[in-house]
Amino acid sequence: MDTVDFSDLSEQLHTIGDYVRFGASQFNQAELYFGHGTNNAWDEAALLTMFQLSLPGELSADLMQCRLVLAEKQAVLQLFERRIVEGVPAAYLTNQAMFCGLPFYVDERVLVPRSPIGELIENQFNGLIENEPNRILDLCTGSGCIAIACAVYFPNAEVDAVDLSIDALNVAQMNIEGHGLTEQVIPIQSDVFSGVEGQSYDLIVTNPPYVDQEDVDSLPQEFLHEPEMGLGSGFDGLDITRKILAQAAAHLSDNGVLICEVGNSQVHLSAAFPNVPFQWLTFERGGHGVFRLTKAQLVQHQQDFLAATI
């Protein structure tokens, strides 16, 4: 659809409230996709406005009435225009994302953090693990958000953060250093478990690529700015998940647990392994497609998982 010419609006819009309202209206009219940090046009417009003004994120009635100078107006409008014309997720425009209440640097080398696994971490996997883990593996770490959040919520645990992408690991390293966790969180290049041979963990947490080909072909433009290798995983979205299932038992301690997200590919996974007792988890803040399996369950169905990777 046609969008508004942003070049001559500074005489018509004056306050922070004007810009948030205008941005929200334009985002809705452009039918943007929200899901990379916000879930609606108003919050997205507020986030971008406050970021560009270097102000705290929360809006108050008094703050909404504050007037902007010309340079501020132009800067906010330029950011709005990029969001609409280029379809860049807000997190990439600001290089900022929140996960488990923690700030993370993000750019187009990594997915924008948004996994419902964050809720499990904040609850310290209550009811899902028997004991506090000493060693945790974050498989397909991306920005490092899951690994870092695990380290914060389990300060006595050693955490390995693995990913195939060196670009992603460079971003993860920035975040590890930014949170002061270089002694606790170790980034490792690894194709699934290849970089941690012989290592055993009490908890493996993973948000691997899991988008099936049908969904990859119809993703909103916002997702096209994310690294493709972080999204798609074969026809049914389960290429990497099958490898994880086949290999995870060898890397878990006796009472170890695997927590894995497969999103919409849950239906494919259940169909592929109808005899496996996946425990599909529920979330108070929304989310789906995350399962739990114990080492014993993984071992019990090892032959099914191995056969599926041949």
pLDDT digits (tens, 9 = 90+) for 34-67: 888 888 999 999 999 999 999 987 788 888 899 9
pLDDT digits (tens, 9 = 90+) for 167-217: 999 999 999 999 999 999 999 999 999 999 999 999 999 999 877 787 777
Q: Which two tokens mark 101? A: 């209440």
Average pLDDT over residues 131-140: 96
Burial class (CB in 10 A: 0-12, 13-18, 19+), 282: exposed
Which amino acid would we find at residue 302?
A: Q
Q: What is the pTM of this model?
A: 0.90
Average pLDDT over residues 8-32: 91
Give me the sheet containing 135-139, strands edge to edge.
185-189, 158-163, 135-139, 201-206, 252-261, 290-294, 279-280
Domains and CATH numbers, the chain: 6-94 (no CATH), 100-308 (3.40.50.150)
The DSSP line for 100-148 is TTEEE---TTSPPP--THHHHHHTTTTTT-SS--SEEEEES-TTSHHHH
Please tell me which residue, 249 or 286, carries the higher pLDDT value. Answer: 249
Is residue 1's pLDDT more than 50?
A: no
Given this model, what pLDDT does residue 7 score?
63
Given this model, what pLDDT does residue 35 score?
82
Which three-class secondary structure state does DSSP give residue 278?
coil
